[in-house]
Amino acid sequence: YQPSWEWETQMNERPELKARLLANENPFGPSDKARLAIMESVSVGNRYGHGDAAELISLIAKKEGVSEDYIMLGPGSTDLLEKTAITHFIDGGNIVSADPAYMSLIKTAMAFKADWKKVPLTSDWAHDLKGMEKAVDGDTKLIYICNPNNPTGTLTPADELRSFCKKMADKAPIFVDEAYLEFLDKPIESSMIDLVKEGKNVIISRTFSKIHAMAGLRIGYIVALPSTLDKISSMVRSNMGLCVTSIRGAMASMEDETFQNNSRMWTKESREIVYAGLDTMGFDFVPSYTSFILFPIDMQGQPFLKKMYEQGVGVRAFEVFGKPYCRVSMGKKEEMEMFLDSLKKVLV
């Protein structure tokens, strides 16, 4: 069994892209309220932002229904994925996850000599929870689940995932990456955060990069048992990577529910445009719960990416179960139309 992998992109060398649909960024923000808060906070940039971080933690704690000691902030959730990996794999061990999955935490774990026990997604792109259960052994230091998953955009049913986590969290901590959760119509029903409240050793990660459209501003957080957060902060510091402007922007964005709803709605509209276009051209796409769509292509990833770049369109390409796939992020309507036009020229 060959694990999935991603073709190299030259995204940093291609600033002239007309449609940047390669990093699951959100083109609709940041919200006007966040922009204003950021501008107004520049004048306090001479001070460390510990007080502001405490305020954001308090706001998040209230929203999530936990006390403040269940929250840790980071400059993007990547920082917390990596810190979790470092602190859990410093002495090696194995990590159990699906394949394909979002690789950030897994790569850092492997850099610390973790063994990656990959379990292929099922034929309907859900986590193979039975297979993952079997893969867990006495050396498993963490189970990683990305739900909705990246790069597939698919969702594993909440009730099945909840039973799995309830059972397995006693054997190894479970990290549930919920970066795209807020794109769901009813996010809370699919979140595993209730398990943390029940005292299970589950770590939930969220980010301001996706629904809040603040990827470049770098704010994310994890919700976990205080004992887990103590373990992490005994080895690495949490708030020192944070920027006061971004913290204040995040607070303003949290309060701007209209923006969050629009962000969800506009992303959905772009998804519909892409579904219709892919359907017309006969592509068999994977229905998505997120801000990106995966579909199989009849060309190897490298030449495909190059041809799309030549049209001014940046996307990603993966090999999944031995076949090439394109992953396209949702942009504005005109970007999606440009993507569909380019796809037609390149592949149809």
Nearest approach, Cβ of 137 to ligand PLP (angstroms)? 25
* Rounded-to-integer distance, Cα 102 and Cα 157, Å: 18
* From candidates 84, 87, 147, 150, binder to ligand PLP by CB under 6 A: 150
Comparing CB distances to ligand PLP, the nearer of 78 and 288 is 78
Give the number of residues in contact with ligand PLP, rule: CB under 6 A. Answer: 13
Contact present, 223 and 71 (Cβ < 8 Å): yes
Comparing CB distances to ligand PLP, the nearer of 77 and 263 is 77
Contacts from 235-242 at CB under 8 Å and sequence distance 24+?
235/86, 235/87, 235/90, 236/83, 236/86, 236/87, 238/72, 238/73, 238/74, 238/83, 239/49, 239/50, 239/53, 239/73, 241/74, 241/75, 241/79, 242/49, 242/53, 242/73, 242/74, 242/75
* From candidates 209, 228, 260, 342, binder to ligand PLP by CB under 6 A: 209
Of 142, 131, 100, 97, the residue nearest 117 (C-alpha): 97
Residue of closest CB approach to ligand PLP: 76
Of 266, 272, 304, 310, the residue nearest 288 (C-alpha): 272
Comparing CB distances to ligand PLP, the nearer of 77 and 94 is 77
- Contact characters 299-338, ligand PLP, x per CB under 6 A: ----------------------------------------
- Contact characters 179-198, ligand PLP, x per CB under 6 A: x-------------------
Comparing CB distances to ligand PLP, the nearer of 127 and 277 is 127
Provide the strand spans (E) within the chain: 5-6, 19-20, 71-74, 94-99, 115-120, 140-146, 174-177, 202-207, 220-223, 292-296, 313-314, 316-320, 323-329
- Contact characters 158-177, ligand PLP, x per CB under 6 A: -------------------x
Residues 19-78 that bind ligand PLP (CB under 6 A): 24, 76-78
Nearest approach, Cβ of 285 to ligand PLP (angstroms)? 18
Nearest approach, Cβ of 179 to ligand PLP (angstroms)? 4
Nearest approach, Cβ of 295 to ligand PLP (angstroms)? 18
* Rounded-to-integer distance, Cα 132 and Cα 284, Å: 27
Residues 222-281 that bind ligand PLP (CB under 6 A): none
Comparing CB distances to ligand PLP, the nearer of 179 and 224 is 179
Comparing CB distances to ligand PLP, the nearer of 78 and 108 is 78
Q: Report the DSSP pairing between strands 313-314 and 19-20.
A: parallel
Distance in Å from the first CA to the final CA of the chain: 30
Question: Under the rule (CB under 6 A), what is the footprint of ligand PLP?
Answer: 24, 76-78, 102, 146, 150, 177, 179, 207, 209, 215, 220
